[in-house]
Structure 1
Amino acid sequence: MSKNLSICMIWFLILNMTSIVLFLFSLNFLLNDFCLFLEWEVVSLNSSSIVMTFLFDWMSLLFMSFVLLISSLVIYYSKEYMMGDVNINRFIMLVLMFVLSMMLLIISPNLISILLGWDGLGLVSYCLVIYFQNVKSYNAGMLTALSNRIGDVAFLLAIAWMLNYGSWNYIFYLELMKNSIEMEIIGYLIVLAAMTKSAQIPFSSWLPAAMAAPTPVSALVHSSTLVTAGVYLLIRFNILLCESLLGQILLLISGLTMFMAGLGANFEFDLKKIIALSTLSQLGLMMSILSMGFYKLAFFHLLTHALFKALLFMCAGAIIHNMNNSQDIRLMGGLSIFMPLTSTCFNVANLALCGMPFLAGFYSKDMILEIVSLSYINYFSFFLYFFSTGLTVCYSLRLVYYSMTGELNWGSLNMLADEGWIMLRGMMGLLIMSIIGGSMLSWLIFPTPYMICLPYYMKLLTLFVCIMGGLIGYLISNVSLFYYNKSFNNYLSSYFFGSMWFMPYIATYGVIKYPLVLGGIIFKSFDQGWSEYMGGQNLYSELIKYSQLNFFLHNNNLKIYLLLFVLWIIFLFFYMLF
């Protein structure tokens, strides 16, 4: 066991030091407006060569720094969280492969090398989702893998279409793609791929299902790696979204995703699924502001969100550990008394998510909403932005009310206490970043402040929406209003909103069951049926017959030759007669 712990510590130190170095490099690149394009010739044979290209700019270096920081703290946290696991080495290796795939995706300006990282993420995420090896995990893993395969196919089609240009380095052709009507198809394919990876409607059902993975994996996946890969890819392709039909379609879809996830989280009672739906809501926010053309704002929110979301999952993991692996928030209560340090981290992360002034989430969310207020945007999208922000505060306060206040509803005899210092130290690192990260990043990414001039009421609208959302979240959770709760009277509508608009059922039947059944029928009827009978097998049997006849004829049997000669004479006789 001590050997396993030392491996966790070694990787924690390596990743942490690399993160600090990359952060310093990103500062240098950002201040000097510097960009480094590296080409590594892997193989050269005559006139053919295989070249790997890497793009290092302030954005890729800063994102890699954050990914490595979070993954180092997650590995450190796993040292205690996964202590009882016999195969912890395998777990650490899977996490490292996951991080490596993300690194490859971040620094690639080439569609082929992006596909390596993209598929690496898909494959390793499947291995991590089915890590606990039970039926629920297998189903969740299959849903995750097959949903993401749709995007992978779109990506492969985009690679095929890029052959029109003579190179897969998309970064050189973005302007040309925007001005070329027939090349917009690459934009549509890339957006489809990004929608599956970042779980936008109608591919949202896999994201809450992926909660079957261990909690440290959830902290990594839902903060800075798998789900943000699609957003990061679209940040690179942002020029295709500006003032185009594609951007308008994405704005509508991502706005609906944000609204659907926020609404669904208010009906959910599973602690990890509430946080997963919150991730889905924030991904919708990133995608929607990106589709309006503000790619730096989307990147800013991506980084700040990564910090407090990883912290939120770590705290949830500590709570679940203490609750003897129970995730139902109705069984919790009074955790702030039993687990003060964990509760402090949990509440800070929740407040950062809600956009509490001067925490990490405030700087990005407030600026996004003010930019939306300043932009030309229709009423529907405007409503989705602000209502979804209110829903975020609503489910966050509901979660805090259920878990932190009142009496514990779990058991009379319990051993609730703050987890060991290893897990708490991992949380403390992210706690500090969740407090100072937003301010630090806003000075770095936006050295010249935005001038946002809004009317007084518009300026206060964000604050008003947040306060109203929090108030409603408190009121619908308060036990004294239980008798006025209409969710049981309107069971069907509650079921509809609480099950992500029936998307898991549609995805399970539409993506897994019926396509696989149809594939099986086609395989049996055509591949093993008619095409086999009329094709390969039939040809084989006919050739056997003719070869046997040929062999029989060439066996030098005198009787056969005499018989054939007699028949030939008879045929000639009748031919001459008639």
Structure 2
Amino acid sequence: MVYFMLFQYLFVLLWVGFLMLMLYFLLLFFFNIGSFSFYKKIQKMYKWGILSIFFMSFFSLVFGGFVNYVLFQETRLWLMNSPLLHMDTGSMVFFSFALFVSWSIMNFGVDYMSDEKGVGYFLGYLILFLFFMFFLVFSGSFMVLFIGWEGVGLLSFLLISWWGYRMEAVSGSMQAVIYNRVGDAGLLLFLVMYLILGNSLFLGESLVMSVLFFLFVLGVLAKSSQFLFHPWLPNAMEGPTPVSSLLHSSTMVVAGVYLLMRCMSMFSISFMVFVVGLLSCVLGGVFGFSQFDFKKVVAYSTTSQLGFMMMMLGLGFTGYCMLYMMAHAFFKAMIFMMSGVVIHMAGGAQDFRGMNTMILLNNLMSFLYVMGALVMMGLPFLSAFWIKDLVLEETNFSYLGMTFWFFFGIAIVLTSLYSMRLYFGLFEAFIFNQKKLMMGKSLVNFYSYIRLFLGSVGVGLLFFMYYGPMGHILMTSGTKMFGLIVLVLGVLVSFFLIKFSGFGFYKLGYLLYYNPLAHKFSGGFFYKISEYTILLDFIFMEYFFSGGIFYTRGVVSSMRVFLFFLFIFLMLSTL
């Protein structure tokens, strides 16, 4: 009894300390906003503030293990509770990992944007973005959720269009806003119906509820750049690299998946989510395979990985989805940060066909990229492997088992193809048989990369800490080795294509948009059709609608005069 009371007092002290740390973070946030113009004089204040984000993330991660059992209680109908803010294990763990990644990204951003004007405003926007992300993650009602949802969208527009003198950045930010507006409109209609119907909205099944659930999923798909909404994410890569690293790895794009994960038990839309995730996973890999822009390849890989998370949600693996989301945040942020450094060292060029570089003085960069790509592909004993392997085991005897395995194999092959294609194009001189030494800085803020690397490799240990010992699942050796086999197959195919076919990847990527064999036979046919169409359009429009109308008017007038005189003649003849 005494130990239990001591534990309670200790927990209360931890809770008070957590609230004080939150207050400190908010005060620091407002202090940062009030001191944008003094950034050059108070750089240390920003670095201490960024360090406080780390301590907050560490404390919230430790505290998140107790919050579900002691103070708060998770309910099935998440977001149906009366409090404005709702904290449980899932939200605390998610936000703690987001803050940990943000700590590394903002440390990177301080050095990366040091030569830019108004960098204080830039970091302030990033902190304000995290502030709205806090409301989105810890929202206890749909109204608070929508505030965070809209705030994240607004700040994403400001951050992506930070370089306003570049038309590509402005158009990319506008495209992101337009695509997200469609999803936000669907989510807003869902909220209006929720206010009208209340909790009865989730009782029973009807066509109206199916439409409303579709509107909810529409908002999720637009925010997470899924199928039919995927074009905005690659174009948003025109913003600064810290923006791409933060928004498109662990915060904004995963917000839709996170919301769907928390609300999945309310809706009967598992099959719809699975199909959309499957299409996004495969098509994201195909589009990434056919791109030549470094950052767009990474962006389409994000769409593909988010599609895999949606597939896991459709199959009911919400816990696995959360863990994969954490691993994805680490390795994708590391790859995005590295892409910005490579682009700077290449003089601003983003087309890796013109780079073909062998970075002789910085082998660590190629090592980090290879490790991030291997984690993403699911190499055994790295973080993503534990989750992907367990999903394969769980789906081995399900009704979607063979379908999932087939498309999962395609997704892994495509992931291996575009990852190794990018590696061989950047760090090896296989395509053009030349080597160039890029000029500029090497890795900016070395420790930021190391933290993300250790997180991307070691977050799999959290899997066993969270789930404990696994049960025994009977599988044959062939099915157990399926993931490794398709991974090695993708790596070998990419190596042989780019090693022995020269422009092989260029041709294959080009075929996705223009097929010379098909156009050789169909080009002349369609050319003749277009000629005849233009001729007919010219005759029709020119004769009947310009000069033709004038001519027709004259003919009609002449006929009218002729008929008038004919009528007079007939009248006179009858007399």
Cα distance in structure 2, aligned partners of 1:484 and 1:116: 45
2:72 aligns with: 35
Matches within 5 A, 1:28-427: 28-29=66-67, 32=69, 35=72, 53-133=84-164, 134-166=166-198, 173=199, 177=202, 179-181=204-206, 182-241=208-267, 244=268, 246-377=269-400, 379-406=402-429, 414-415=438-439, 418-420=442-444, 423-427=445-449
Query: Per-residue deviation at 1:369?
Result: 3.0
1:443 aligns with: 464
Q: Deviations over 1:29-59 (max 9, x none)?
A: 36x4763589xxxxxxxxxxxx752111110
Query: Per-residue deviation at 1:84?
Result: 0.7
Q: Deviations over 1:149-189 (max 9, x none)?
A: 111111111111112444xxxxxx59x71644454444222
Query: Percent of pairs identical after alignment?
Result: 29
2:496 aligns with: 475
Write the letter of the residue equivalent to 2:57. Answer: S
Cα distance in structure 2, aligned partners of 1:27 and 1:493: 54
Write the letter of the residue equivalent to 1:424. Answer: F
Q: Secondary structure at the match of 1:237?
A: helix
Larger RCO (CA under 8 A, 6+ residues apart): 1
TM-score by length of 2: 0.76
Distance 1:494 1:65, change over 3 A: farther
Cα distance in structure 1, aligned partners of 2:377 and 2:175: 30
Write the letter of the residue equivalent to 2:229. Answer: F
Q: Deviations over 1:57-111 (max 9, x none)?
A: 1100000101111111111001110011111011001111111111111111311
Q: Secondary structure at the match of 1:220?
A: helix
Cα distance in structure 2, aligned partners of 1:52 and 1:409: 63
2:78 aligns with: none
Structure 1 position 19 matched with structure 2 position 57 = yes
Cα distance in structure 2, aligned partners of 1:410 and 1:345: 23
1:556 aligns with: none
Cα distance in structure 1, aligned partners of 2:148 and 2:338: 29
Cα distance in structure 2, aligned partners of 1:208 and 1:489: 18
Structure 1 unaligned segments of length 5 or more: list them.
39-50, 167-172, 496-578
Cα distance in structure 1, aligned partners of 2:295 and 2:209: 41
Q: Secondary structure at the match of 1:337?
A: coil
Distance 1:204 1:489, change over 3 A: closer
Query: Per-residue deviation at 1:463?
Result: 1.0
Cα distance in structure 1, aligned partners of 2:506 and 2:122: 44
Structure 2 unaligned segments of length 5 or more: list them.
1-38, 76-81, 517-575
Q: Secondary structure at the match of 2:508?
A: coil
Write the letter of the residue equivalent to 2:321. Answer: A
Q: Deviations over 1:111-161 (max 9, x none)?
A: 100000000111100111111112111111111001101111111111111
Q: Deviations over 1:407-453 (max 9, x none)?
A: 89899675355234xx21111111111121122x2023322425433
Distance 1:29 1:335, change over 3 A: farther
Cα distance in structure 2, aligned partners of 1:483 and 1:236: 44
Write the letter of the residue equivalent to 2:479. Answer: M
TM-score by length of 1: 0.76
Query: Per-residue deviation at 1:379?
Result: 4.8
Query: Per-residue deviation at 1:372?
Result: 3.0
Distance 1:216 1:113, change over 3 A: same
Write the letter of the residue equivalent to 2:202. Answer: M
Q: Which segment drifts farther, 361-370 or 15-24? A: 361-370
1:455 aligns with: 476
Cα distance in structure 1, aligned partners of 2:86 and 2:344: 41
Q: Secondary structure at the match of 2:216?
A: helix
Question: Aligned pairs, how many?
Answer: 470
1:223–1:305 CA contact under 8 A, matched in 2? yes
Write the letter of the residue equivalent to 1:18. Answer: M
Query: Per-residue deviation at 1:326?
Result: 1.5
Cα distance in structure 2, aligned partners of 1:37 and 1:315: 39
Q: Secondary structure at the match of 1:331?
A: coil
Query: Per-residue deviation at 1:392?
Result: 0.6
2:247–2:253 CA contact under 8 A, matched in 1? yes
Cα distance in structure 2, aligned partners of 1:135 and 1:147: 18
Query: Per-residue deviation at 1:221?
Result: 1.1
Write the letter of the residue equivalent to 2:169. Answer: S
